[in-house]
Amino acid sequence: MIAFYTFISFLLTGLYLLVLAYLIKGWSALKRPQLSDPSPFKTKVTVLIAARNEEDNIAETIDDLLAQDYPHELTEIIIVDDHSTDNTAHIILSYANRGVKLLQLKEDQALNSYKKKAITEAIARSTGDLLVATDADCRMGSKWLSTVVGYYETYNLVMISSPVTYFHEKTFFERLQTLEFSFLIGIGAAFIGNGRASTCNGANLAYRKDVFYEVGGFKGIDNLASGDDELLLQKVAKVYPGRIGFLKDIEAVVYTYAKPDLSAFIQQRRRWASKSTHYKDKKIVALAVGIWLFNLSLLFNVVGGIFYSGFYKILGLELLLKILFEGIFLMLVTSFFNRKSLVKWLLLLSPIHIFYVVYVGLIGNSRTYAWKGRMVR
């Protein structure tokens, strides 16, 4: 029995190391794109934001959007207020004279996915050919939009995933989140670098309007609260393999904030995990299950070591290889974000991450969770 479990443990470890090698290869394959001369730009762009109770952040986000160096005559900004109970709608409305359009979602019946409904309503009223989605608590540099559109026009893509990171961390816990989040962003980028689509982040996602309608929009995934980004990516990838890009350019980065406490962090990760089993590409689902089983095997080794000390030796070797390969990958990703100093905390984060992956994997697909003051699934 011990020999069989040891074999399974090493098998899962080998799988995980192969995945990390695949990620390292994919990230390394992505180069900073050589963009063609942007003048004059030709693409009409609609920036989409769904906002709920964001009075503390929305003004800064709008100011950043209005400060973009992309031609204003080719830019449309639509913000949907999703039943905010604070001053969000009033703040958005105060920018009306600068071309910012406010839509107010008014749903009488309860929905499970208000955000998808908000985005769908905004798209229906949009005039842009390229839709660029971000969130109401995000910040971006003045070249963000022109870099995204330049990439789109140069490479003739139908969907563009662009980098997101945390900034202005106030606590050690928030810095750990930035390191972990860099890993997640790197995964999505690396898969695209390897010619496949797995994950992305809706805070920095662009896609053609006609393609959105061609794949049926959010139809078929509108029963889930989350997934306006990754599940849409999966739908587009099925129809347009090879036409999705990751924009590995520092000018394209969108910045947002880590969660202030453990409860908010767990709720966010439960939401993200809830959509994973609904991916169109079942090979990616199987891969995610394999990674979850690898982390579960590490926990079994912790417990098994109480009864057989040999399990601790296996655990030590697994942890060493895990941290080594994760460290190589994270050095590459954090170098792009100019945050290499965070990697030193991997020695602490990696063991904690084992418990987190197993826990979130269990609860992410089994319970409702809180999001923006509502209980959803």
Q: Give the residue, 75 or 281, on which the prediction is more confident.
A: 75
Q: Where are the beta strands (DSSP E) in 192-339?
A: 205-208, 244-246, 254-256
Please name which of 259, 233, 230 lies closest in space to residue 370, comparing C-alpha atoms.
259
Q: Which CATH class is domain 33-163+204-258?
A: alpha beta
Q: Return d(Cα 198, Cα 19) in angstroms, integer.
A: 13
What is the rounded CA–CA span in Å between residue 376 and residue 222? 12
Residue that wins the pLDDT comparison between 285 and 141: 141
Could you tell me the residue ranges of all domains in the chain?
Answer: 2-27+282-376, 33-163+204-258
Q: Residue 155 has which token pair?
A: 């490479």
Which region, left, alpha or beta, applies to residue 368 given φ > 0 means left and ψ of -120 to 50 means alpha?
beta
Distance between CA atoms of 351 and 11, rounded to whole angstroms? Answer: 19
pLDDT at 377 over 60: no
Per-residue pLDDT at 366: 61
Q: Given this model, what pLDDT does residue 368 score?
A: 63
* Count of beta carbons in the 10 Å neighbourhood of residue 161: 29
Locate 143 and state its tokens: 């070249």
- Residue range 148-195, pLDDT digits in tens: 999 999 999 999 999 999 999 999 999 999 999 999 999 999 999 999
Which run of H or of E encompasses 48? strand 45-51
pLDDT computed for residue 14 by the predictor: 95
Instruction: Copy the structure tokens of residue 243.
Output: 């036409």
pLDDT band at residue 305, thresholds of 50, 70 and 90?
A: confident
| Token output for 257 | 């904030």
Residues across the chain: 377
Token pair of 162 as six digits: 């662009």
150-159 confidence digits (pLDDT tens): 999 999 999 9
Please write the tens of the pLDDT for every residue from 329-349. Answer: 999 999 999 999 999 999 999
State what percent of residues in the chain have pLDDT above 70: 94
Q: Check whether 280 has a pLDDT greater than 80.
A: no
